[in-house]
């Protein structure tokens, strides 16, 4: 049985007991999943750059995400003033930036990162937003470690 400050949640990886401080609220949802507002991050393996952004409303909805800076150093996310206020951040350093990852089945060498729709999280306030980027340097299908982009 979960304690008062914990939740028992179903995830793609099985049943978990989740402390309330691990619940992230996305006031606008995510692109394509606007009705889902509560998520948590699940570390797949300690050494892995990959996490699952798991919906707490739908056990089937878990997005593979990663820290883009594990793959590239020159990625710049533009966060507008309204989004900064909603996230309650003053500087970029106060935010965790993640991007969604696609790994085609049986073809890990064709892994792509979606740099055009980063997910920005204030871990202290436990608030997240997906913030579309308009810079053409950051495509929706960036292949890490490769010079060519899809």
Tens of pLDDT, residues 51-99: 999 999 898 999 999 999 999 988 999 999 999 999 999 887 889 999 9
CA distances from 123 to 104, 105, 120 (A): 30, 31, 9
Residue 36 is encoded by which pair of tokens?
A: 């889902």
pLDDT at 2: 55
* C-alpha span between 96 and 23 (Å, rounded): 15
pLDDT at 1: 52
What is the pLDDT, as a whole number, of residue 48?
A: 85
- Residue 13 pLDDT > 80: no
Domain boundaries, the chain: 6-130
From the candidate CATH numbers 2.30.290.10, 2.40.30.20, 3.40.367.20, 3.40.718.10, the one assigned to the domain spanning 6-130:
2.30.290.10
**Mean pLDDT, all residues of the chain:** 89
Q: What is the pLDDT of residues 27-39, one digit of tens each?
A: 999 999 989 999 9
Q: What percent of the chain has pLDDT over 70?
A: 94
CA distance 67 to 97: 6
- Band of pLDDT at residue 139, cut at 50, 70 and 90: confident
**Look-up: residue for tokens 């010079």?**
147
Distance of CA 69 to the CA centre of its chain: 13
Residue 42 in tokens: 């699940």
Whole-angstrom distance, CA of residue 133 vs CA of residue 117: 6
Task: State yes or no: pLDDT of 133 exceeds 90.
Answer: yes
Neighbours of 91 (CB within 10 A): 8
Per-residue confidence (pLDDT) for residue 148, from 0 to 100: 39
Percentage of the residues of the chain whose pLDDT score is greater than 90? 57
């Amino acid at each position: 049985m979960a304690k008062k400050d914990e939740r028992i949640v179903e995830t793609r990886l099985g049943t978990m007991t989740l402390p309330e401080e691990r619940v992230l609220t996305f006031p606008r949802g995510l692109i394509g999943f606007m009705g889902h507002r509560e998520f948590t991050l699940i570390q797949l393996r300690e050494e892995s750059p990959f996490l699952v952004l798991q919906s707490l409303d739908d056990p089937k909805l878990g997005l593979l995400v990663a820290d883009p800076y594990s793959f590239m150093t020159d990625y710049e996310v533009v966060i507008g003033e309204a989004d900064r206020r909603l996230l309650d951040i003053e500087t970029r350093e106060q935010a965790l930036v993640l991007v969604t990852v696609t790994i085609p089945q049986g073809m890990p060498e064709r892994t792509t990162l979606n740099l055009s729709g980063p997910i920005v999280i204030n871990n202290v306030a436990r608030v997240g937003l997906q913030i579309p980027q308009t810079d053409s340097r950051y495509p929706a299908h960036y292949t890490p470690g490769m010079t060519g982009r899809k």
